[in-house]
Each structure stands twice: as structure tokens, then as C-alpha cells.
Amino acid sequence: MQLLSKSTGVDEADVDLEQLVDAIANVIRQKSRDVHLLTTQGNCSNRAECNGDLGTDSAGANQFVAELGKEDYYRDGKQLWVYQPPINKDLSRRLQEPRDAYQLSRLRDSERCLNTVRDAPELEIRRLNLEARNRKEMPSIKREVLKNASSCISGEPLGQDAEVHHEGRVADRPDLSVEPSNMRAVNSGIHRLIHAEQAHTPQALDALGKREGWPQTKREPEPEPEPEPEHEASLPPKYRGPKTGNT
């Protein structure tokens, strides 16, 4: 109990279970500051050197990072950060594999620690504040999208009943709820058709537009971007797979 008192600040003479749980959670969050990054959007990310989080060695962590999609990590200077959802997903996979009791216990501890950081009160507050701000700003951004639109994606002129369609639904992508690039000006009848056909992604909307013969499903052509390097080549060398062929 002396160790408990020193590490959590809970008086060992009068231990309350709820107080103890909160104190331990706070210790975990504080200890995690050097390996986790909490963003203003309420996201949590981990250093790419995440072997401790995954209950594996550095080789296993490097392989995990090498297999990530571009949307799963980002750079902050020289440091590579991995968003927490793919780590949780890989932890769940590892927990369901045939492993010994020690490994399973270590993985469960990692999962609990990650979830404790994810559920930090300060992150919950950031998410709630961001949702409230987005909800408040959305009407004015929609008006701006309608004002700047020349026609409906069906090719028809915009009517008095014109609305704004989110290519990625607010329910599915709240992080894009006020992004003009995620909004399209549509007439109400077209809007109903889009939802009736469940064209809830840019790809599905494009397919629906081709089927219906709409000329403006895709956005105005943009200048050709500079060719991007191969995904693996964009990672630091230690996260790349082994070379093949003659060198």
C-alpha cells in the first residue's frame, strides 16, 4: 500500500475504490505523455516505436508500421506518429491468436492503457467542444457552398430548394462535417435519390452519377499533382520491407 500511496496519491489508510480507479487512470495518462500525442481534434496517436503498445519487439512494431495505410500515420518533424485506431485493431487481432498466458496478459494491459488515454477527460471535452463548434458553423458554410455553386451535380440549374449533400455522411465522418470539399450543392430531388441509393461515399456518388448520366459528378479538373513516392518509400528506412531482386 505504501507503493500505491506514492504512485497515485491515494491515502492508503482510507482507500475508496472509485477514487483508486481514477487515481490509477491519471497515473497511466501522465506516464503515457512521452509516447502518446493528444491533438486539438480530440485524437490520440502513438510514437511509431510502438512495440510496447503492441506487446512485441521492435521488428514486430516496424512490420506493423510498414503495413499501415497513408491515412494511419503522420509526421511531426522527424517523429512519425501512428493514430491509435489501427493500434487498437492490431491489438484485438493479437489478443485472439494462440499465445501464452504472459503474452495475453501483456496485450490486455496494453489495451487497457491505450483505452485509458483515449478516454481522458480532456480529450472528451475537446471532442464535445469541436462537435458543438461544427454544428454552429455548418449552416453558414452550407450557405457559402450553395452561393459558390453554378449548378447541381446532375447538370440542372440549382433550384430554390437546393440543398447541400455531404459526400461522407456527418454520421460516418463527423471530422469532415464542415469541410467544403466534402459538400456538394444539389437539388432536393437529387439529394433524395442519392440517399435512396445509399451513395454515401465519393466513389459511390461517382458510380451513381455515371449510371444516371450526370455530367458533374466529379469535381472540376485540378492541375496534375507531382507524382507521389511509393508509400513504402515515404517511410523511414527501418519501416520498409526487405528489398527484392538484384541490387
Write down the mean pLDDT value for the chain: 79
Number of domains in the chain: 2
- Stretch among 54-58, 66-70, 167-171, 183-187 having the lowest mean pLDDT: 54-58
Residue 1: its pLDDT value, please?
38
| Whether residue 8 is found in the same domain as residue 105 | yes
Q: Are residues 165 and 94 in the same domain?
A: no
Q: Is residue 237 part of a domain?
A: no
Q: Are 64 and 54 in contact (CB under 8 A)?
A: yes
The candidate with the shortest Cα–Cα distance to 160, out of 178, 139, 146, is: 146
Q: How confident is the model at residue 148 (pLDDT cuts 50, 70, 90)?
A: very high
6 and 118 together in one domain = yes
Residue 243 falls inside a structural domain? no
Report whether pLDDT(203) > 80: yes
* Residue recorded with cell 485509458: 116
Model confidence, pTM: 0.67
* Residue numbers of the domain that contains 91: 2-123
Of the candidates 76, 94, 123, which is a domain's last residue? 123
Q: Which of 104, 123, 142 is the last residue of a domain?
A: 123
Whether the CB-CB separation of 58 and 49 falls below 8 Å is answered with yes
Q: Per the domain annotation, does 202 fall within a domain?
A: yes
C-alpha torsion 34→38→39→42, nearest 10: 170
Q: Tell me: do 89 and 45 sit in the same domain.
A: yes
Domain assignment of residue 129, yes or no: no
Helix pair angle (101-118, 84-95), 10° resolution: 150
Is 165 in the same domain as 111?
no
Residue 7 is predicted with a pLDDT of: 46
